[in-house]
Amino acid sequence: MHHFDYKNNALHGEDVALSDIAEKVGTPFYCYSAATLRRHFRVFADAFKGQDTLVAYSVKSLSNLAVLKLLANEGAGADVVSAGELKRARAVGIPAKKIVFSGVGKTIDEMTLALEEGIHQFNVESEPELLQLSEVATRMNKRAQIAIRVNPDVSAGGHDKISTGRKEDKFGISWERAEEVYAQAKDLPGIDVVGVDIHIGSQITDLAPFEQAFTKVTKLVETLRAQGCPISRLDLGGGLGIPYHHNHGTNTPPPPTPSEYAALIRKITDPLDVQLIFEPGRMIVGNAGILVAKTIFVKDGDVRRFLILDAAMNDLIRPALYDAYHEVIPVKEPAATAEMAQVDLVGPVCETGDTFARQRNMPPVQKGDLVAFLSAGAYGAVQASEYNTRPLVPEVLVDGDQFAVIRERPTVEDILKREIIPDWL
C-alpha cells in the first residue's frame, strides 16, 4: 500500500497536496511518504518477530540520508555495496554491527574501511576477493566475518537485467564449487566463516523460486557444518516484489506478502537454528515514492499523441533500462466520466529511449498539468544523472501534514563549478 491518494480532487502525499509542493520546489521532483516507509518496514520486520533476524535495508534502492535516518529509527540495519553507502549508513547512526557489505568489486580501501568500522559481515563473491580480504584483515590484525555468496542457478526476477542467481550472472560463486571454496576460506588467516549468502534477483512475484533456492541452500548449510564450517548465519538477500500495477482492472496477480514469505522461510530454515539476514530494498521504498512532472507540450503526430514532460530518462531511467512499467496518473483528479485516450509519455532528452510509456490509456492532460509516476521510490533518484546538463531533481519527504526538501535541486551554475578548464586551453 501507499499514502498517495486523491483528496478534494487533488493528489496528496499523506496530508500534503502535491501541487503545493510543486509550487514551492518546482518540477520534476521525487516525493516520499514517511508513513509508507514506516509501515512497510514494520510489516516486513514483524513477519519474523520472535526469530533471530537482521533486517539490513538495501541502501542502493534509495540512499537519501533522511530516508536512511527514518529507517534507522525503526531499527533497520544496512546492506551496502560501496564505501559511500557504508558512510551514509554510519552517518545516520546505523550501528556497524548491523551492516552487511555486499558487491562483486570491493576495493582494498573499502575492505579497510569496513574492517575499521567493525561491520557485521562481508558477503564474499569470488575467490580473488576472499584472498584479498584475508590479506587486508591479516595486515590490520583484524578478523573479517564472512558469508560466501553462492549461486544456486535459479532464474528469477522480472527482467533479464535484474536476475542475479543464474550460472551466467556475475554474482557469487558457482554451486558446484561452494564446498571447495568454503574449505579454503576456513583455513585462511584473518577470516571467520560464519554464514552462507544467497540472492537470486529483484522484483520476484512468485514464492516458487525462493522455495527452490532456499531449500538448496539449507542443504548446503548442513553439508558445510558436517565438514567443520561453523555456519551460524543465513543471508537470504532481498528480491521480494511489489505491485507496480495499481489499476484494479489489470490481471496482474499481487506479489506474495511478507507474512507468506516469512512462513515459507520458517518452514525451510527453522531446523537450522541460524540468524536470518534479509536485505529488502524495493519492498520497503518502491511504493513509498513517486515522481511528479509537468506537461510541457501536448504534441499530435500523424498517428500518435505525445505528452512531453519535464521529467526525462535521466531522472527516472527504469523504463529505458529495464522496460519497467510505472502507472502515471494526473495530479488533478479526472472526472469519473473522463474519456481515456492513448498517448506516448516522453521526456525532453535527445534520445529515442527517453520514453516512459507507449500507447498508455490516460484521461485528458493539458499543457501545464502535473502527472505523478507511481512506485518510483526504488531505483529512481539513486540512478538519476545530469545527462544533457539537466540538474538532479529535488527529493521531498512528507510526514503527515508537513514536508521537507531532503535533497535540493542544484543550479546549472553548481554543475559547471565542478568542472575545470586547464590553464593551457
Spatial CA neighbour of 348 closest among 317, 310, 377, 292: 310
- Within 227-301, residue ranges assigned H as helices are 258-269, 282-285
Spatial CA neighbour of 55 closest among 299, 251, 258: 258
- In one letter, which amino acid is 12? H
Cβ atoms 373, 310 nearer than 8 A: no
Cβ atoms 392, 377 nearer than 8 A: no
How far CA 394 is from CA of 3, 286, 379, 384, 409, in Å, comes to 20, 17, 15, 11, 5
Among the listed residues 226, 335, 350, 420, the single catalytic one is 350
350 is annotated as an active-site residue? yes
Positive or negative torsion for Cα 388, 87, 41, 7: negative
Spatial CA neighbour of 26 closest among 34, 37, 18: 18
Cβ atoms 33, 396 nearer than 8 A: no
User: 116 CB contacts (<8 Å, ≥6 apart)?
Assistant: 140
Packing angle of the helix pair 34-46, 65-73 (nearest 10 deg): 40
Catalytic residue set:
350
